[in-house]
């Protein structure tokens, strides 16, 4: 027997039933949706996250200013205890007392992040608010781009999973219809088989 695969559902053959045609249409619509909706969902999510991230970055860049702090003490050496509360610090960083001038020209003293092993008098780049208080580093373009790409991939994946799940649900419903129809047809034809034996 020649293998015609899924194509028989589109041809007018005696074995084709209405649910077979419906199954073929659902499959075709799912394929089209995967080709159109998935990229659109990823693009929309990525653009939204990128726009929001760039707006946040622009706001942070206007509120925060880059400054230079001078270390007042040596940073701990590598392998030494860099402090109990590491917080967001990496393994090669420590909080060290330093002095800096804010945008208003006033001198300030506080703990800044320094690399282990830096010495007293070394300079460290920091970010400060308008009032001269320490601020976090503003969002970078790379971070915003990475977040946008990740959001786009997640949205596209979720859209694809949703479409595949809908396809499977439709297929189950059509399989139930097939089984019910086969049961009805067998109930009509089955008893006649005994007449010919």
Cα separation, 94 vs 114, whole angstroms: 6
Q: Which residue has the higher pLDDT, 92 or 170?
A: 170
What is the percentage of the chain residues whose pLDDT exceeds 90? 51
Which residues have a Cβ under 8 Å from the Cβ of 80 and sit 6 or more positions away? Answer: 116
28 part of a folded domain: yes
pTM exceeding the 0.85 threshold for the entire prediction: no
pLDDT value for 87:
52
Q: Give the model's pLDDT for residue 25.
A: 86
Q: What residues make up the domain containing 42?
A: 16-58+142-182
Residues 130 and 148 in one domain: no
The Cα diameter of the chain in Å comes to 108
- Residue 192 is predicted with a pLDDT of 76
Rounded to whole angstroms, the Cα distance separating 27 from 35 reads 12
Q: Using the predicted structure, report yes or no on whether residue 189 has a pLDDT greater than 50.
A: yes
Answer yes or no: is pLDDT of 145 > 80: yes
DSSP code at position 9: G
Sign (positive or negative) of CA dihedral 63, 66, 68, 74: positive
Q: Is residue 187 part of a domain?
A: no
User: Would residue 54 count as lying in a domain?
Assistant: yes
98 and 72, same structural domain? Answer: yes
43 and 24 within one domain:
yes
pLDDT score for 15: 64
> What token pair was written down for 170?
């439709």
Structural domain contains residue 189 = no
Same domain, 35 and 90: no
């Amino acid at each position: 027997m020649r293998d015609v695969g899924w194509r028989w559902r589109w041809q007018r053959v005696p074995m084709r039933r209405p649910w077979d045609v419906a199954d073929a249409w659902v499959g075709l619509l799912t394929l089209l949706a995967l080709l159109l909706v998935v990229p659109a969902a990823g693009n929309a999510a990525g653009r939204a996250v990128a726009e929001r991230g760039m707006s946040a970055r622009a706001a942070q860049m206007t509120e925060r200013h880059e400054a230079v702090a001078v270390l007042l003490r040596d940073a701990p050496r590598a392998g030494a205890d860099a402090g109990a509360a590491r917080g967001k610090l990496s393994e090669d960083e420590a909080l060290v007392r330093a002095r800096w001038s804010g945008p208003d020209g006033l001198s300030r003293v506080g703990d800044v992040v320094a690399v282990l092993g830096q010495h007293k008098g070394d300079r460290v780049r920091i970010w400060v608010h308008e009032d001269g208080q320490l601020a976090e580093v503003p969002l970078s373009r790379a971070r915003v781009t990475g977040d946008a790409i990740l959001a786009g991939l997640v949205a596209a994946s979720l859209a694809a999973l949703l479409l595949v799940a809908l396809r499977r649900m439709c297929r189950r419903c059509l399989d139930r219809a097939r089984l019910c129809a086969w049961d009805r047809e067998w109930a009509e034809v089955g008893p006649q088989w005994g007449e010919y034996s």
